[in-house]
C-alpha cells in the first residue's frame, strides 16, 4: 500500500510517499514559507533533490504542487495519483477526543476544528491539508494520527495543572503531551530490539530534537510526559523555554508592556538554546561555540543537559526505577557530547555510558556499558513510518469490514 504522509505546520508541509509493506520511502520533500513570496519547495530524494523558490499562497496550493511532482516531470515516482492508496495526516492536538488514530470523516474533521484553539499553529494547517486532499484526490481514504493520542493513558494526577478546576471544565486546560508518535514508536522499537515484552519494561524515552520532550512508560503505556497543554512545557528546546516559573512571564509582560501574543512569541521562538546563548537554536552551532569558549553557549548547553537530567530523575521516581532509557531525534541520535553530559554523574543511579559506544554513529544501538544496570539506547525515530503504518492498518481494516 502506498501511503502519502503529510505533516502540515503553520507555514510548511512536509511529505513522504512510502510503500508500507517494504517500508521503502519512494520520495519525500517539503514546502516551506507557505504564504511568502519566496516559498521553498524541496522535492525528491538525495542526491537528486530539487529545490525551487516559488510562491505557494496557501496549503492547498502547496499540496497541489506536491501531487503534481509525484506524477509529472523528472521527479515523478508514480504513473498517476491512483497509485496513492491512502493519505496519513499528522495532527498535533487530539485533545480529549482521540486516544488513537482515526479514519477521516465529518465528525473527525469537526473535532479537529474544535481543537484549533489548543494548537492554532498546527491543527488549522492540518485541516487545510485534509480539505486540500479531499478536493485534489477525492475518494482516497485518509487517516489522522495524533501526537497527543499516546498520552491518553496518563492518569489525572499527571495531566491536571494545580490551578482552579473551573479552567479544566471550561476550557479543557490540562496536559495533553506531544511527540507521542515518536515516543510510542521508539518505545516499541526498544522493546523489540531488546527482545522483551514492552509490558515488562520501565522505559524513559527522550525525544531531543528542535522540540524536546521526555516520557515515562510503564506496563506498555505512557504514564507521564513533559509537554503540556501545548508543546512549550517541559524541557528547554531550540527556541522554546520549556517549563519556567509562570511569574517570569507576567513580570516581563508588565515591565516591557508586552501583549499575550508577544509573550507567546518570546517563549516559543526567542527562548531556549537560542535565547540563552544568543548564538543559535541549532545544537551543532552551540557545540561549536562551546568549543571556542563562548560562555553563554556553554551556559545554554549546561542548562539544556541539566533539564534533561532532572526529568530523567523525576520519571525514575514516577516509574519506581527504570530499565531502559531511549534517546532519539536530531540531538538524541547524533550528539555524543550532549548524551555524555546528560549521563555524567548518574552512575550512582545505575546509568553508565560506554564512551566508545557513545561515540559510534549508526542505527539502533546500546550506548551503556555492560555493567550498567539501566540499558541506554539510541533509537532513530521515524514518525512518518509510524503514521504510514497506522494509516495502513486502519484503511485495511475498513476495507475488510
Minimum CB distance to ligand AMP smaller for 157 or for 361:
361
Chain centroid to CA 122: how far?
Answer: 12
CB of 141 to ligand AMP, least distance (A): 29
Instruction: Give Cα 312 to chain centroid, integer Å.
Output: 18
Smallest separation (angstroms) from ligand AMP to the CB of 270:
16
Q: How far apart (Å, rounded) are the C-alpha atoms in residues 97 and 144?
A: 12
Query: Is residue 238 part of the contact set for ligand AMP (CB under 6 A)?
Result: yes
Q: Which of the following is catalytic: 38, 85, 107, 147?
A: 147
Shortest gap between Cβ of 101 and ligand AMP (angstroms)? 21
Q: Could you please report the per-residue DSSP string of 3-64?
A: EEEEEE-SS-EEEEEEETTTTEEEEEEEEESTTSTT-EEEES-TTS-EEEE----SHHHHHH
Q: Which window, 43-51, 67-75, 121-129, 329-337, contacts ligand AMP (CB under 6 A)? A: 329-337
Q: Is 147 an annotated catalytic residue?
A: yes
Q: Which residues does 352 contact at the CB level (< 8 Å), separation at least 6?
A: 343, 368, 369, 371, 372, 373
User: Exactly one of 63, 329, 379, 385 binds ligand AMP (CB under 6 A); which one?
Assistant: 329
Compute the distance between CA of residue 130 and CA of residue 135 in angstroms, rounded to an integer: 9
Residue 284, interface with ligand AMP (CB under 6 A)? Answer: yes
Among 331, 342, 394, 395, binds ligand AMP (CB under 6 A): 331
Q: Whose CA is closest to 21, among 392, 381, 401?
A: 392
CA distance 187 to 49: 32
Residue closer to ligand AMP (CB basis): 184 or 202: 184
Minimum CB–partner distance for residue 232 and ligand AMP (Å):
15
Residue 74 cell numbers, joined: 523528472
| C-beta of residue 112 within 8 angstroms of C-beta of residue 129 | no
Whether the Cβ atoms of residue 171 and residue 181 lie closer than 8 Å to each other: no
- Footprint of ligand AMP on 180-209 (CB under 6 A): 209
Q: Out of 283, 375, 382, 389, point to the residue binding ligand AMP (CB under 6 A).
A: 283
234 in contact with ligand AMP (CB under 6 A): no
Which position among 2, 181, 241, 335 is part of the footprint of ligand AMP (CB under 6 A)? 335
Tell which positions 138-177 bind ligand AMP, by CB under 6 A.
none
Q: Does 389 bind ligand AMP (CB under 6 A)?
A: no
Interface with ligand AMP in residues 33-92 (CB under 6 A): none
For residue 110, give the C-alpha cell.
Answer: 469537526
Q: Which residues bind ligand AMP (CB under 6 A)?
A: 209-210, 238, 282-284, 329-331, 334-335
Give the active site residues.
147
Amino acid at each position: 500500500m502506498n501511503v502519502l504522509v503529510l505533516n502540515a505546520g503553520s507555514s510548511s508541509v512536509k511529505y513522504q510517499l512510502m510503500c508500507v509493506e517494504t517500508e521503502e520511502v519512494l520520495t519525500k520533500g517539503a514546502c516551506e514559507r507557505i504564504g511568502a513570496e519566496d516559498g521553498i519547495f524541496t522535492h525528491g530524494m538525495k542526491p537528486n533533490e530539487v529545490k525551487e523558490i516559488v510562491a505557494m499562497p496557501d496549503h492547498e496550493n502547496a499540496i497541489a504542487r506536491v501531487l503534481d511532482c509525484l506524477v509529472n516531470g523528472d521527479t515523478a515516482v508514480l504513473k498517476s495519483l491512483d497509485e496513492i492508496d491512502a493519505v496519513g495526516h499528522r495532527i498535533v492536538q487530539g485533545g480529549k477526543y482521540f486516544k488513537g488514530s482515526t479514519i477521516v470523516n465529518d465528525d473527525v474533521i469537526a473535532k479537529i476544528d474544535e481543537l484549533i484553539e489548543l494548537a492554532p499553529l498546527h491543527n488549522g494547517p492540518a485541516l487545510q491539508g485534509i480539505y486540500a486532499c479531499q478536493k485534489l484526490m477525492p475518494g482516497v481514504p485518509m487517516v489522522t494520527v495524533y501526537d497527543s493520542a499516546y498520552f491518553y493513558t496518563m492518569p489525572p494526577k499527571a495531566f491536571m495543572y494545580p490551578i482552579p478546576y473551573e479552567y479544566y471544565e471550561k476550557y479543557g486546560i490540562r496536559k495533553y503531551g506531544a511527540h507521542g508518535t515518536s515516543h510510542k514508536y521508539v518505545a516499541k522499537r526498544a522493546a523489540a530490539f531488546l527482545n522483551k515484552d514492552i509490558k515488562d519494561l520501565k522505559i524513559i524515552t527522550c525525544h531531543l530534537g528542535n522540540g524536546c520532550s521526555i516520557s515515562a512508560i510503564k506496563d506498555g503505556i505512557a504514564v507521564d510526559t513533559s509537554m503540556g497543554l501545548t508543546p512549550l512545557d517541559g524541557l528547554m528546546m531550540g527556541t522554546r523555554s520549556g517549563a519556567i516559573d509562570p511569574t517570569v512571564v507576567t513580570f516581563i509582560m508588565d515591565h516591557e508592556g508586552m501583549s499575550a501574543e508577544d509573550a507567546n512569541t518570546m517563549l516559543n521562538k526567542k527562548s531556549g538554546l537560542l535565547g540563552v546563548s544568543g548564538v543559535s537554536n541549532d545544537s551543532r552551532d552551540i557545540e561549536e561555540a562551546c568549543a571556542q569558549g563562548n560562555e553563554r553557549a556553554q551556559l545554554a548547553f549546561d542548562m539544556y543537559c541539566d533539564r534533561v537530567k532532572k526529568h530523567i530523575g523525576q520519571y525514575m521516581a514516577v516509574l519506581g526505577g527504570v530499565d531502559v532509557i531511549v534517546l532519539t531525534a536530531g540531538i538524541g541520535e547524533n550528539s555524543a557530547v550532549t548524551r555524555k553530559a546528560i549521563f555524567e554523574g548518574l552512575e550512582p543511579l545505575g546509568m553508565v555510558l560506554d564512551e566508545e559506544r557513545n561515540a559510534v554513529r549508526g542505527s539502533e544501538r546500546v550506548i551503556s556499558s555492560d555493567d550498567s544496570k539501566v540499558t541506554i539506547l539510541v533509537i532513530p525515530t521515524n514518525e512518518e513510518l509510524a503514521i504510514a503504518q497506522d494509516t495502513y492498518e486502519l484503511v485495511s481494516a475498513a476495507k475488510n469490514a
